[in-house]
Copies of this chain bind each other. A is one copy, B any other.
Amino acid sequence: MTVSGLRERKKQRTRDALLRVALELFTTQGYERTTVDEIADAVEVSQRTFFRYFSSKEEAAFAVQQMVEERFVRALAERPAEEGPLDAMRNAVLASWDTIGEAIMEVVPVEQYLRTFQMIESTPALLAVHLRRSTEMEEALARLIAEREGLDVDEDPRPRIAVAAFSGVMRVTGQLWGRGTDPTLEAIRELTERYLDHLAPALEPDWRN
């Protein structure tokens, strides 16, 4: 994590500064109204340097989300084998939210992450990228699930289907939370549990029980 050498530390500081300033400006002025020049100027580096740390303006917006997602995937991998696929995924999300602080606090406060997430959900260009990134993660999830169950993802469609259904629900809750009025971890946690509870019943042919 921490690296010796003045050079390495300087790089780390520049990257952190760029990221913090970027998220700050994105969440206060809006993503589109913030130019890369503005970010670079605030950190007193050239625009070119910004693009050496982040391959695009978008990448900066997703830097924290990236860490959170990696954490979720790891949490799933560590779930006990007895749990069914859906339970394992459910418990993995909830678990990774419980410890979200540890993962990102060193870079930005949790509050900033929540605001960034809402910005992503409410900025069309970023929402689009977010959804595509999610499908990439889903591929990884499907492979993990298949492995747990001793299946081949390309033979048995169930891993991908289960992940797709699960992720669909997660996406809906993410959007509802983003549009909602309670931007807290508890709120999205509760929303997620409630919606996941309804997944199986919602697929029944007759909803009038």
By a beta-carbon cutoff of 8 Å, the part of chain A in contact with chain B is 84-87, 124, 127-129, 131-132, 135, 149, 151, 157-165, 167-169, 171-172, 175, 194-195, 198-207
> Are A164 and B168 also in contact (CB < 8 A) when A135-B175, A149-B207, A203-B199 are?
yes
Please state if B172 and A161 are interface contacts (CB–CB under 8 Å). yes
Question: Which B residue's beta carbon lies closest to that of A167?
Answer: B168
Identical subunits present: 2
> Are A161 and B202 also in contact (CB < 8 A) when A135-B131, A168-B168, A207-B149 are?
yes
> Are A198 and B164 also in contact (CB < 8 A) when A127-B132, A135-B131, A206-B84 are?
no
6 CB < 8 A contacts A-B: A87-B205, A151-B207, A161-B199, A163-B168, A199-B203, A200-B203
CA distance A30 to B184 in the complex (A): 43
Shortest distance in angstroms between A119's beta carbon and chain B's nearest beta carbon? 15
CA distance A149 to B206 in the complex (A): 10
Most B CB contacts (10 A, CB to CB) among A149, A161, A172, A198 go to: A161
Residues from chain B with a CB closer than 8 A to the CB of A204 are: 84
CA distance A202 to B89 in the complex (A): 13
CA distance A204 to B167 in the complex (A): 16
Please state if A203 and B203 are interface contacts (CB–CB under 8 Å). yes
> Are A85 and B168 also in contact (CB < 8 A) when A128-B129, A157-B195, A175-B135 are?
no
Shortest distance in angstroms between A56's beta carbon and chain B's nearest beta carbon? 11
